[in-house]
Amino acid sequence: MLAEGPAIILVEPQLGENIGMVARAMANFGLGELRLVSPRDGWPNEKARAAASRADHVIDAAVMFEDTASAIADLNFVYATTARPRDNFKPVRGPVEAAAELRSRFAAGQKTGILFGRERWGLTNEEVALADEIVTFPVNPAFASLNIAQAVLLMSYEWMKPGDQAVRPAESRSEPAAKQHIESLVAYLDRVLDERGYFRTEDKKPKMIENLRALVTRPGFTVEELAVLRGVLTSLEKFSPKKPRGSGAPDAG
Amino acid sequence: MLAEGPAIILVEPQLGENIGMVARAMANFGLGELRLVSPRDGWPNEKARAAASRADHVIDAAVMFEDTASAIADLNFVYATTARPRDNFKPVRGPVEAAAELRSRFAAGQKTGILFGRERWGLTNEEVALADEIVTFPVNPAFASLNIAQAVLLMSYEWMKPGDQAVRPAESRSEPAAKQHIESLVAYLDRVLDERGYFRTEDKKPKMIENLRALVTRPGFTVEELAVLRGVLTSLEKFSPKKPRGSGAPDAG
How far apart CA A131 and CA A182 sit, in angstroms, is: 11
Could you tell me if A196 and B240 are in contact, meaning their C-beta atoms sit under 8 angstroms apart? yes
For B225, the closest chain A residue by CA position comes to: A215
B115 φ, ψ to 5°?
A: -90, 130
Residues sharing a CB contact under 8 Å with residue B166, sequence separation 6 or more, in sequence order: none
**CATH 3.40.1280.10, domain A7-160, yes or no:** yes
pLDDT for position B113: 95
pLDDT for position B169: 36
Residue A54 contacts B where some CB pair is shorter than 8 Å: yes
Partner-chain contact A193 B235, CB within 8 Å: yes
For CA atoms A144, A147, A152, A154, give the dihedral sign.
negative
How far apart CA B179 and CA B130 sit, in angstroms, is: 65
pLDDT for position B3: 61
Partner-chain contact B25 A215, CB within 8 Å: no
Residue B251 contacts A where some CB pair is shorter than 8 Å: yes
pLDDT digits (tens, 9 = 90+) for A193-235: 999 999 999 999 999 998 899 899 888 898 889 999 999 999 9
pLDDT for position B2: 57
Mutate to test the interface with B, among A47, A56, A101, A140 (most CBs of B within 10 A): A140
ipTM topping 0.90: no
Percentage of residues of chain B with pLDDT beyond 70: 89
In chain B, residues 160-199 whose CB comes closer than 8 Å to chain A: 160-161, 164-165, 168, 172-174, 189, 192-193, 195-198
B113 φ, ψ to 5°?
A: -160, 165
Q: Which CATH class is domain B7-167?
A: alpha beta
pLDDT averaged per 10 residues, chain A (length 253): 84 97 95 97 96 95 96 93 75 91 90 95 89 90 89 95 46 72 93 94 91 88 91 94 81 49
Distance from CA of A44 to the nearest CA of B (A): 22
Give the H or E element holding residue A224.
Answer: helix A223-238
For A30, the closest chain B residue by CA position comes to: B140
DSSP reduced 3-state for A72: coil
pLDDT averaged per 10 residues, chain B (length 253): 84 96 95 97 96 95 94 90 74 90 88 94 87 89 89 95 46 64 91 94 89 83 90 94 81 49
pLDDT digits (tens, 9 = 90+) for B181-231: 888 999 999 999 999 999 989 999 988 988 898 788 778 788 889 999 999
Partner-chain contact B240 A196, CB within 8 Å: yes
Distance from CA of A20 to the nearest CA of B (A): 13
Distance from CA of A30 to the nearest CA of B (A): 5
How far apart CA B211 and CA B227 sit, in angstroms, is: 20
Distance from CA of A91 to the nearest CA of B (A): 6
Partner-chain contact B54 A145, CB within 8 Å: yes
Residue among B29, B54, B154 minimizing CB distance to A139: B29
Residues sharing a CB contact under 8 Å with residue A115, sequence separation 6 or more, in sequence order: A9, A11, A68, A72, A78, A79, A80, A81, A123, A127, A128, A130, A131
Could you tell me if B51 and B21 are in contact, meaning their C-beta atoms sit under 8 angstroms apart? yes
In chain B, residues 114-153 whose CB comes closer than 8 Å to chain A: 137-140, 142-147, 150, 153
pLDDT for position A149: 95
pLDDT for position B85: 67
Domain spans of chain B, in order of start: 7-167, 179-238
pLDDT for position A13: 97
Taking Cα atoms as reference points, which of A118, A112, A145 lies closest to residue A19?
Answer: A118
Question: Angle at which helices B223-238 and A179-195 pack, to 10 degrees?
Answer: 50
Query: How big is the A-B interface in CB pairs under 8 Å?
Result: 198
